[in-house]
Structure 1
Amino acid sequence: MKKAWILALAGSLVACGQPAESPDGGNATAPATAEHETLQADVPESEPITSPYELAESAPNDRDFAALAGYPDTWHVSYGWPGEYPAGFVVLEQGVTVNGRARPNPDAPANVPCTLPQYANYQIWNRQRVERDNLEFIVASKIEPVTMLVDARIETPGDEGMQVLNLKAGDVLSYLRYLGEGFAIFDVDGQEYTINEAELRDISSMTGMALEEDQWVEVACIGGTRAWLLYDDAIAQDDIVPSPIVGFGEASDIYPDEVDKVRAEGLELEAFQNQPFDDGSVD
């Protein structure tokens, strides 16, 4: 279970995963295909996701992920992984198997062995992998109450431009999920709004609040089965590391000659993510 600290977003990004040049200055070999992985025709390049809001709004219309996941009512389930640079993970070696689940719920048995293709990068911006394997990304976030401490007028984007919420001291909002770039989705009186967290800084109870969330991806396993993998379970594997950060909206499977570099930088990023958060408060 990931724990994201609200109003204290990490600004440190690790830049890696750039395709290396060959010794003669030409292009590097294209990402290799794992043995036994079934390849389809090349997928044409598609426009990368350019806004964190699209992550939450691009869910297929024919799947009820909340019902499928079966989390309690105190959790919010929605499509897309959060963050202006969403997380992901890379498979570094051949034959890596993760125990997945038939549905995206931590209480479901992890009894679906899923062997993943070497060099695959499971990141929502890796459109070729997403489309080839029909990947689905969802996040389950524990709903947190946020109480207004003072009266305030809060701006929020709507279908017809910006609108203003007139909130009163004592009003309770429900924090549903983080989007990116400081924006999150809140429930106010049964209606969902996108609000910049900075608007609530120092005027509500949310400063320093910790958000519990589970990030799930449904993957295609070698051999034809499908499984739901929890991000934390995936990166706990020795030969799986967090995805390299190349650029905004940019991601792809890695190249064979990048394995050592991606492993080192991925382990560094994982160690950074696991550091305890210090908000500077004094006990």
Structure 2
Amino acid sequence: MRFGWILSAALFVAACGQSDVSAPAGPEAAPGAEMPVEGAAGESAAPAAAPTTDYAALSGYDGNWFLSPGWPGEYPPGFAVLDADVRVPARARPNPTDPQDVTCLLPQYANYQLWNNARNKADDLDYFVATKKLPVTVLEDTEVEFVGDAGIEKLALKAGDQLTYLRYIGEGFTVMSFNGREFDINEGELREITDIGAIENEEDLWVRVTCLGGKQAWLLFDEVVLEKGVYPSPITGYGEAHDILPDEVETVRAMMSPEAFGLDPTAQSIEPPPVE
């Protein structure tokens, strides 16, 4: 389903252009969000490094899952709250086997997307992805390039060797492990020499949000994006995101609706739109 939402976002950019969803001009453009502090030269001050979170201990996922901060993709997905009084089921712990034991009231116009720095900072958001570890078997003796400390290096592999798929990064690169070491490898290099094309990726995208009233809870992207009043985040440009402005709501609603591009959220699949 995430591929479908990203497809919609890409078409949103093409149809509307970056100027249709403009960057916020001041603090009022992002309701409830604190704007970045500017330095003497007018540049946004770099945020302090966040402490490392032990997502395994926090969530209870077992060793069959690879847990890492952030959400994958060169254009990471997100979700925006377009309506008022949107209350969504959430969890106290980010594990899909736990009951949805929290009701979270989300602020209208909030856009929960990795690039929305103002919202991320103001609400103390925490994003991580849980990816099912999958075996990838090498089919022939070969060498593959990977990004190492010295730049582009080569990893020698033999037929029958087994890599472990850990997560997608973006721009075609994935994290793989081999002999206890992790490698950033271009997935395209593995298509003809491994069985990576036969695996079905399984991942859970989590974000800890601050509900109105101050309570914090965890939301699973695949669940919250189907809630009434919640829509996939529009992508207006690489690295750009902000809370939705009131006069942008109906444009975002129309362009990012499941029906707009033949998306079936119930089946979580992509259906091509009818040809007229």
Q: TM-score range by the shorter chain?
A: 0.7 to 0.9
The match for 1:178 is 168
The match for 2:263 is 271
Q: Does 1:13 align with 2:15?
A: no
CA-to-partner distance for each residue in 1:130-158, whole Å, 9 max, x for gaps?
11111110001111110000011111111
The match for 1:93 is 83
What amino acid is aligned across from residue 10 of structure 2 in structure 1? L
Q: For the Cα contact (< 8 Å) 1:29–1:255, is it kept in 2? A: no
Residue 10 of structure 2 aligns to a residue in which SS? coil
**Farther-moved stretch of structure 1 (174-183 vs 103-112):** 103-112
The match for 1:256 is 246
- Using a 3 Å threshold, how does the CA distance of structure 1 residues 142 and 29 change in structure 2: closer, same or farther? closer
Taking the TM superposition and a 5 Å limit, the aligned residue runs for 1:214-253 are: 214-253=204-243
The match for 1:42 is 35
The match for 1:82 is 72
What amino acid is aligned across from residue 69 of structure 2 in structure 1? Y
What amino acid is aligned across from residue 36 of structure 2 in structure 1? V
Residue 218 of structure 1 aligns to a residue in which SS? strand
C-alpha distance in 1 between matches for 2:60 and 2:242: 31
What amino acid is aligned across from residue 271 of structure 1 in structure 2? L
- Using a 3 Å threshold, how does the CA distance of structure 1 residues 144 and 245 change in structure 2: closer, same or farther? same
What amino acid is aligned across from residue 13 of structure 1 in structure 2? A
Number of aligned positions between the proteins = 256
The match for 1:197 is 187
- Using a 3 Å threshold, how does the CA distance of structure 1 residues 29 and 59 change in structure 2: closer, same or farther? closer
- Using a 3 Å threshold, how does the CA distance of structure 1 residues 11 and 47 change in structure 2: closer, same or farther? farther
Residue 146 of structure 1 aligns to a residue in which SS? strand
Please provide the CA RMSD for this pair: 3.1
Q: Which runs of 5+ in 2 are unaligned?
A: 39-43
Q: Does 1:31 align with 2:53?
A: no
- Using a 3 Å threshold, how does the CA distance of structure 1 residues 11 and 183 change in structure 2: closer, same or farther? farther
Taking the TM superposition and a 5 Å limit, the aligned residue runs for 1:143-162 are: 143-162=133-152
CA-to-partner distance for each residue in 1:198-217, whole Å, 9 max, x for gaps?
11011100114220111000
Q: For the Cα contact (< 8 Å) 2:34–2:119, is it kept in 1? A: no
**Quick one: which of 53, 56, 70 aligns to 2:60?**
70
Q: Which runs of 5+ in 1 are unaligned?
A: 34-38, 49-57, 279-283
Residue 250 of structure 2 aligns to a residue in which SS? helix
C-alpha distance in 1 between matches for 2:69 and 2:27: 34
What amino acid is aligned across from residue 44 of structure 1 in structure 2? V
Residue 140 of structure 2 aligns to a residue in which SS? coil
CA-to-partner distance for each residue in 1:18-42, whole Å, 9 max, x for gaps?
56599xxxx8995363xxxxx4753
Higher helix content, 1 or 2: 2
Give me the TM-score of the superposition, normalised by structure 1. Answer: 0.81
The match for 1:187 is 177
- Using a 3 Å threshold, how does the CA distance of structure 1 residues 4 and 262 change in structure 2: closer, same or farther? closer
The match for 1:110 is 100
Deviation of 1:245 (Å): 1.0
Q: For the Cα contact (< 8 Å) 1:3–1:210, is it kept in 2? A: no
Q: For the Cα contact (< 8 Å) 2:115–2:239, is it kept in 1? A: yes
C-alpha distance in 2 between matches for 1:223 and 1:3: 30
Q: For the Cα contact (< 8 Å) 1:4–1:210, is it kept in 2? A: no
Percent pairwise identity? 46
Residue 196 of structure 2 aligns to a residue in which SS? coil
What amino acid is aligned across from residue 43 of structure 1 in structure 2? P
**Farther-moved stretch of structure 1 (178-187 vs 257-266):** 257-266
